[in-house]
Amino acid sequence: MPHVVFLYEIVCYSVGLIGLLLALLTGTVRHSQIDLRYALFMLCFAIILLGDSVRLYLTNLGITKGAVITWVACCGLAGVALMIAALPWFIHSLAGLPFERRLNQLFGLLGILSLLLVVLLSLGLAPWSLMLVLFAALIVSILYSVTAGNIYARRWPRTDVAASEMERWYLTMKTITVLSVAFIPLFIVVDLFPESFRPISKNLPPTFRIYPAFYLFWSIVYIAVTLPSYLPRHAGEAGEWELGRFRLSPREREVALFLLEGYSYQQIAGKLIVSLATVKTHVNRIYDKCGAGNKMELAVMLRSRHQPNSR
């Protein structure tokens, strides 16, 4: 039975690896800081889960002491130490904070100190009771990220990232939030207090844990939301308008597309989550770069030469 549970966890981590590689690819190809920081966060998550799974597997084989168990445990704790910094970094990348660098340095320092503590534990230079300090720091990081993520996204929404990318991340985080809320009761029943819920836990293998499945479904959500963004875009965006003819920024291209599709300034501001003044500034820059005086002239300038009705 332990082998079956271990196989289940390997499947979970394998799908997680696919999601991790997709995040690295997306972050590298699109120069997306959000995806790269997400990949770092998920890597820390995987290290924690994998370290704990291997420890449980070795324990069931009768290996409960020795250097191997110590190093495996410290491997998982190293993931905890790194996540203390990685999770806030990821949350910060979802909003355009004016003080992001200082916050990243603060949590980076906390992560380094936590990693140093793990090294001392592995060398036997610190008592294992100090693990409570490590997990306390992790809880602080998680609570900060949950609270700050909601505040920052509303107060300082990103304006330097394409709206389509932000919509992808809003959908991802919204789905993952619902998933997290659904998993919390299962995590409490199955992983934390199995003895208190015998009718459920007695039907499960002793080493079964629900959190690898959480990692699995989290990765599936990211993959399902991100893969469609690699498909060819709608013809209305790529075929009708030659947005590449002028040196428009990614955000200016989005504004131009909304403008040409008949959206008002107020509607564009709502779509991009920016102020009305910001939209007007973008429109003026678009007109200047394209040599157009109004929306009709802009449509003529950007009309695809491959359209049957274009001159």
pLDDT, average across residues 168-187 = 87
pLDDT in tens, 2-13: 678 778 888 999
Closest CA to 299 of 250, 254, 244, 257: 257
pLDDT band at 309 (very low <50, low <70, confident <90, very high): very low
pLDDT of residue 93: 93
Query: Which tops the pLDDT comparison, 299 or 287?
Result: 287
pLDDT in tens, 28-77: 988 889 999 999 999 999 999 888 888 877 877 777 777 888 888 888 89
Helix (H, G, I), strand (E, B) or coil at 248: coil
Helical segments of the chain, H only: 2-29, 33-60, 67-93, 100-122, 131-155, 163-186, 198-201, 211-226, 235-238, 250-260, 265-272, 276-290, 295-302
Phi, psi of 241, rounded to the nearest 5 degrees: -120, 135
pLDDT of residue 138: 92
Query: Which tops the pLDDT comparison, 12 or 310?
Result: 12
CATH numbers and ranges of domains, the chain: 2-162 (no CATH), 235-302 (1.10.10.10)
Measured distance CA(66)–CA(262) in Å, rounded = 69
Closest CA to 169 of 41, 34, 28, 45: 34
Closest CA to 45 of 90, 9, 76: 76
pLDDT of residue 181: 85
pLDDT of residue 307: 46
Half-sphere exposure (CA, 13 Å, Cβ side) for 311? 3
pLDDT of residue 304: 54
pLDDT in tens, 117-144: 999 988 888 888 888 999 999 999 999 9
pLDDT in tens, 227-283: 987 875 443 444 456 666 678 888 888 888 888 877 788 888 877 778 888 889 999
pLDDT of residue 311: 40
Quote the tokens at residue 166: 């932000």
pLDDT of residue 1: 56
Query: Which tops the pLDDT comparison, 87 or 211?
Result: 87
pLDDT band at 310 (very low <50, low <70, confident <90, very high): very low
